[in-house]
Structure 1
Amino acid sequence: MKAQETIERELNDIASLLLPVVGQYLLLPGVSVAEIVGFLPPEDRGANAPDWFLGYVEWRKLKVPVISFEVMNGQPLPEAHENNRIAVLNNTGQSKSLPFFAIVTQATPRLMRISESEIDEINSAQLNKFENMRVRVQEEEATIPAFVEMEKALIRFLGL
């Protein structure tokens, strides 16, 4: 019976990633992340771009727009360093013209399997514009980003 319980628990767990950004982790379901790649400085930012738009990186022969989660939420732009990674994210269906976008992480994200019962909302947390919720999961505090709103802001800026 113990094997059956283990199988049932694993089926109910959600593969997730903790993405380190400055001062916090972002918690994303694994299916929202297409790939984590080494850091390449984004290019072609443009003269009139908002501060949070960092430019584009080439990924699998596609030009993927890169944003700064920190700057979108009123924080300064972090300095680039050797531990940075690019998290290429699948879109949420807001625009077929934007299949992927990316954010810069401060280090390699951490994979974890979590169940709904392991996530506790931190009700006292002050949320920024592009944050949906702060949670505690497996003894870590993390932010669930306002993924759809981030994507919509990028779509508006890019005119898609």
Structure 2
Amino acid sequence: MSDALESLNGLIVPLADRGLLLPNVAVAELSGYRRHEAPPASSPDWFLGWMRWRDQRVAVMDPASLFGLPSSNDTSRDQALVMNAIGGRGGVHFFALRVSGIPRSRKVLRGEISAESEQPVLPGILQQVRLAEVEQPLLIPDLQALEQQLADVGAFG
């Protein structure tokens, strides 16, 4: 079997009390969190508005809030993780996740990851997993579903 099937270059992304596990290729850049344009008043709490990034208007969401997880009161470490859009919407190339700190790069080997079957999967999450040498369970988000959530609230309009 090839190395590509045996390992994945990933990022462990901190949220307030959990972490996300993302493939490196899904992430465009880590940027300082700043919101330039507030969302409409009728928007859900998890939609934070838009930021400017590389001369583009990028929708920003709070995944912890969307998943129903506690959010951190300490916003001093917040970062914007700019994601490559995969939904095929014309003109939409990126969206951003507000995260609680700096992601850690990690090569994930097939034998060191296991599904966490006791825990129910949250909306917007594909799988909750355990990774060797990582204390807390990690969430693998459904990136296409996150994009769709943003589209549903008019973030890309």
* TM-score normalised by L of structure 1: 0.86
RMSD, aligned α-carbons:
2.0
The Cα shift of 1:139 comes to: 2.3
The reply to whether residue 146 of structure 1 matches residue 142 of structure 2 is yes
Percent identical across equivalent pairs? 28
What corresponds to 1:125 in structure 2?
Answer: 119
What corresponds to 2:131 in structure 1?
Answer: 137
Per-residue displacement from partner, 1:102-158 (whole Å, max 9, x unpaired)? Answer: 011111000111122221111111211111111111322210012111111111211
What corresponds to 1:81 in structure 2?
Answer: 75
The reply to whether residue 55 of structure 1 matches residue 43 of structure 2 is no
Write the distance in 2 (CA, Å) between the matches of 1:42 and 1:74. 25
Write the distance in 1 (CA, Å) between the matches of 2:5 and 2:68. 38
Q: Which has the larger radius of gyration?
A: 1
Match for residue 64 of structure 2 among 58, 70, 73 = 70
What corresponds to 1:41 in structure 2?
Answer: 35
Match for residue 20 of structure 1 among 3, 10, 14 = 14
Matched residues, number: 153
For structure 1, which segment, 139-148 or 35-44, has the greater mean C-alpha deviation from structure 2 after superposition?
Answer: 35-44
Write the distance in 2 (CA, Å) between the matches of 1:20 and 1:151. 20
Given that 2:17 and 2:70 are in contact with CA atoms closer than 8 Å, whether structure 1 keeps it comes out as no
SS in 1 for 2:153: helix
Match for residue 157 of structure 1 among 136, 147, 153 = 153
Write the distance in 1 (CA, Å) between the matches of 2:138 and 2:145. 18
The Cα shift of 1:47 comes to: 1.9
* C-alpha spacing 1:50/1:139, structure 2 compared with 1 (3 Å): same
SS in 2 for 1:81: coil
Structure 2 unaligned regions, length at least 5: none
Per-residue displacement from partner, 1:40-66 (whole Å, max 9, x unpaired)? Answer: 135231222121110111100001000
Given that 2:112 and 2:132 are in contact with CA atoms closer than 8 Å, whether structure 1 keeps it comes out as yes
Write the distance in 2 (CA, Å) between the matches of 1:94 and 1:139. 36
- Deviating beyond 3 angstroms after TM superposition, the runs of 4 or more aligned structure 1 residues are 8-12, 75-80
What corresponds to 1:4 in structure 2?
Answer: none
The Cα shift of 1:81 comes to: 2.0
Structure 1 unaligned regions, length at least 5: 1-7
* C-alpha spacing 1:79/1:96, structure 2 compared with 1 (3 Å): farther
